[in-house]
């Protein structure tokens, strides 16, 4: 594979995203509340209630099999009391960014719904593994998994013709998408994703995890977060839910799996949870094509 002469930089890719909105102010406000020791659940509720669509989506999420609470949670304030500030902030981040991408990628050579289905399942799988690892805030794993291929959407939106070349190489040479991306662009969607998240001033731990999820041995990866996304991505490909453009299941890095400290016996019950949670939230969480 030869690298194309027409050089495109990661910064050019991001600048070409003319329809890419800024991070919603609700995320900033929610972060400010979290950082203020005087804030309470009612403060959080007031901020979220200003966005009725976001409020409805959050409440449906916390009342789904994603959490499996026995009783109905009917207010954001109640959700904060039960789930906590930090987990709910992660859910606000994830659902808000999903909404940002409505209408993007409609002209891309990959089905938008299939792409977001793959991303959603990876997010769910990441959170499930985070729970098995007894992480304090497994919701941050959900967000990381949800956004793991965000750079691919950026490339699909800003460089659709070049990405057609990527898919052509993948088909002709039966190689991984990252290999074809490197041949065409000189970098991968993971690197674009890292740059985009930093551009949005999101946590560097999240950006690094997204940037290194295909390269679990690369120096600078973000502790277990990149390992979890790497494993969840492989599991998602194996599930056949959605599509990311890969022609076959990418290889699992055994060191990434080993560092998680999980037993193989958890995979079957984990897959049951992933399927159940996806079925319960897919209808209202997936990004839909924006109507004219």
pLDDT digits over 72-81, tens only? 999 888 888 8
Pick from 195, 171, 167: nearest CA to 181: 167
Angle 107-110-115 from CA coordinates, rounded to 5°: 115
Give Cβ neighbours of residue 262 (< 8 Å, ≥ 6 apart): 129, 132, 133
Predicted local confidence at residue 290, as pLDDT: 47
Distance (Å, rounded) from C-alpha 65 to C-alpha 86? 20
pLDDT of residue 105: 58
In this prediction the pTM is 0.89
The answer to whether residues 222 and 190 touch, using CB atoms and an 8 Å cutoff, is no
Task: State the DSSP string of 222-263.
Answer: -HHHHHHHHHHHHHHHHHT-S--S-SSPPPP-HHHHHHHT--
Domains located in the chain, CATH noted: 10-22+106-285 (1.10.3210.10)
Kindly state the average pLDDT of the residues 164-178: 91
Distance between CA atoms of residues 191 and 122, nearest Å: 18
Q: Compute the residue count for the chain.
A: 292
**Cα gap 171→180, rounded to integer Å:** 10
- Tokens 């997204």 locate to 210
Distance separating alpha carbons of residues 216 and 231, to the nearest angstrom: 10
Query: To the nearest whole number, what is the mean pLDDT of the chain?
Result: 85
Residue 84, classed as helix, strand or coil, is coil
DSSP secondary structure code for residue 3 in this structure? P
CB burial of 97-128 (b: ≥16 within 10 Å; e: otherwise) equals bbebbbebbeebebebeebbbbbbbbbbbbbb
If you average pLDDT over each of 67-76, 118-127, 276-285, which comes out highest?
118-127
């Amino acid at each position: 594979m030869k690298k194309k002469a027409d050089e495109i930089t990661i910064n050019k890719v991001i600048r070409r995203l003319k329809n890419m909105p800024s991070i919603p102010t609700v995320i900033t406000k929610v972060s400010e509340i979290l950082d203020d020791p005087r804030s309470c659940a009612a403060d959080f509720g007031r901020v979220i209630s200003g966005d009725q669509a976001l409020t409805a989506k959050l409440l449906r999420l916390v009342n789904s099999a994603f959490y499996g609470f026995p009783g109905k949670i009917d207010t954001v304030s109640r959700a904060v009391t039960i789930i906590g500030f930090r987990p709910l902030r992660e859910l606000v981040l994830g659902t808000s960014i999903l909404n940002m991408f409505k209408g993007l990628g409609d002209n891309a050579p990959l089905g938008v719904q299939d792409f977001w289905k793959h991303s959603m399942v990876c997010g769910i799988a990441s959170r499930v593994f985070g729970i098995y690892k007894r992480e304090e805030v497994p919701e941050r794993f959900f967000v990381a998994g949800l956004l793991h291929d965000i750079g691919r959407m950026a490339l699909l939106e800003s460089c659709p013709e070049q990405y057609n070349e990527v898919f052509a190489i993948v088909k002709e040479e039966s190689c991984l998408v990252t290999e074809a991306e490197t041949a065409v662009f000189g970098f991968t969607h993971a690197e674009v994703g890292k740059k985009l998240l930093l551009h949005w001033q999101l946590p560097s731990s999240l950006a690094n995890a997204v940037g290194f999820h295909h390269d679990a041995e690369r120096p600078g990866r973000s502790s277990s977060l990149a390992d979890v996304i790497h494993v969840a991505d492989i599991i998602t490909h194996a599930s056949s839910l959605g599509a990311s453009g890969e022609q076959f299941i990418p290889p699992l890095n055994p060191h990434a799996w080993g560092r998680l400290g999980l037993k193989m016996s958890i995979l079957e019950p984990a897959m049951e949870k992933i399927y159940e949670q996806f079925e319960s939230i897919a209808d209202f969480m997936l990004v839909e094509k924006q109507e004219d």
